[in-house]
Amino acid sequence: MTNPSIKVRFAPSPTGELHIGGARTALFNWLFAKKQGGKFFLRIEDTDPERSQEKYTDQILESLTWLGLHWDQPVVYQSQRLDVYKERVKALTESGQVYRCFCSKADLLTARDAGHYQYPGTCRNLTEDEIKLRLNQGIGFTMRLRMLEGKTTYKDLIYGDICVDHKELDDFIIVRSDGSPTYNFVVVIDDHDQDITHVIRGEDHVSNTPKQILIYKALGFTEPIFAHLPMILGHDKKRLSKRHGAPGVQNFRDDGYFPESLLSYLALLGWNPGTEKEVFSLDELVENFDLSQVQKKGAVWDEKKLHWISGQYVMNASTEFLLESVRSIHPDWGKGSAISFLISIIELLKVRAKSFTEFINQSEYFFHDPESYDKAGLKKWWKDESANERVSAFLPYCEKITNWRKEDLEIAFKSFAESNECGLGKIIMPIRMAVCGTPNGPSIFEILELLGRDKTIHRIETALDKLPG
């Protein structure tokens, strides 16, 4: 089921970095396009000079690139299309579908406070003379769309039929008093000019869609197909925002998540293929994606599940790829160590790390002697001087090992435990504390093998000096 003529777009406004909701909208557009062999475009909606900032544009582009959501044509900037919009306004004015409104912001506000939620139509039917008079007086004006009686219906790919009576829509503003066009107006022109076939965006636009359809009609354009995605919610079921501490996409990169993990989690938020599969590769996502299986209700953001999915990816990734990925975020990690050493570390840690930053944190003791010892670990495994005695007694065993390999190390530990009639843990755990500073981690035999005899003995002696005090 391919359709190469399909064109979709992601159209963020650069008023902040790319957030979770935006990323998912972009993803669904992208998946929809890929699945059918269509095109995915990117457009920056920067018509609001007050809030738009170039640095955010750069960040958004960067985030999308990191996610791997590549776009098929040069980015379109609305701020560079102002002339196009002007032409359209002119045409609409000449045909009488748009008119000047001289009402001041203050007037409109007082009217609203008085309970009139809609524009009362004050300037709807001004005569030529009245308009000239106001123009001569230098009164600023906005342009409004003249709403006609009737109803507008459209078929939403996700929400089904949506019908709104024009009575509910007032003559909304399409050009501000400073001459800049508003969103609901330019979005139509851009989507038309870019030949967009499917407009896939957030549910917050459902109510805007009838207005936009009216613009399509006024301009004589054929409208695209619309699909609205449910919102992503915070734990209080309100739309996810910075208030919830929701991080931008950049943060996930910095925290060492695979883009694929984030994307996969995002995809399952509001969509699922109806199978019991939980972890998808990007290709599988593309293959399975279908708008008809998108949920209508908002979905609560759950960091824990993302964390779990991320763990799945890390666990299943190849060690070489992990090394490459860790290094791309933290170029200094393991600097000066042999690649084979780093590969071994990752091999040991990949089943325990959920992100690259966890690799960094958990691998500390492979590179540096512990500076402190985990308190809870000490309490359990190095309570008193008896631990010192045991660990000291173990040192000669270390000296005796001819092949410093995990197999021989294991034999040494076991024979120590046997001849001292203590459990294996009684000797392993204190050694672990001495060498790693923490009770948690991979097999001690593997750690010691990697560290080598000298470092091991050195760390044990240091610990004997410092502990238990």
* Contact with RNA (CB under 7 A) among 13, 25, 152, 355: 13
Within 10 A of 275 (CB to CB), how many other CB atoms are there? 7
Locate tokens 């909606």: which residue? 45
Residue 184 within binding range of RNA, rule CB under 7 A = yes
| DSSP label at residue 271 | B
Answer whether 303's CB lies under 8 Å from 244's CB: no
Q: How many residues does the chain have?
A: 469
Answer whether 231's CB lies under 8 Å from 204's CB: yes
Residue 379 within binding range of RNA, rule CB under 7 A = no
* Per-position x/- string for 295-314, each x denoting binding to RNA as judged by CB under 7 A, each - no binding: xxxxxx-x-xx-xx--x---
d(CA 364, CA 374): 13
* Contact with RNA (CB under 7 A) among 352, 405, 453, 458: 352
Our CB check for RNA shows the closer of 30 and 413 to be: 413
Residue 407 within binding range of RNA, rule CB under 7 A = no
What is the closest distance, in whole angstroms, from the C-beta atom of residue 195 to RNA in the complex? 19
Residue 208 within binding range of RNA, rule CB under 7 A = yes
* Radius of gyration, CA atoms only, the chain: 32
- How many chain residues are in contact with RNA, going by CB under 7 A? 86
* Contact with RNA (CB under 7 A) among 20, 33, 173, 467: 173
End-to-end C-alpha distance for the chain, whole angstroms: 71
Locate tokens 């670990």: which residue? 377
* Chain centroid, CA 281 distance in Å: 17
Our CB check for RNA shows the closer of 204 and 407 to be: 204
Return the residues of window 23-62 that contact RNA according to CB under 7 A.
45, 47-48, 50-51
What is the closest distance, in whole angstroms, from the C-beta atom of residue 37 to RNA in the complex? 25
Residue 420 within binding range of RNA, rule CB under 7 A = no
Residue 182 within binding range of RNA, rule CB under 7 A = yes
Return the residues of window 219-238 that contact RNA according to CB under 7 A.
230-231, 233, 236-238
DSSP alpha helix (H) spans, 98-246: 105-113, 128-136, 183-193, 209-219
Within 10 A of 431 (CB to CB), how many other CB atoms are there? 24
* Contact with RNA (CB under 7 A) among 315, 339, 393, 422: 315
* Per-position x/- string for 59-98, each x denoting binding to RNA as judged by CB under 7 A, each - no binding: ----------------------------------------
d(CA 368, CA 359): 14
Closest CA to 393 of 421, 365, 370: 421
Our CB check for RNA shows the closer of 23 and 332 to be: 23
Residue 288 within binding range of RNA, rule CB under 7 A = no
* Contact with RNA (CB under 7 A) among 81, 134, 217, 239: 239
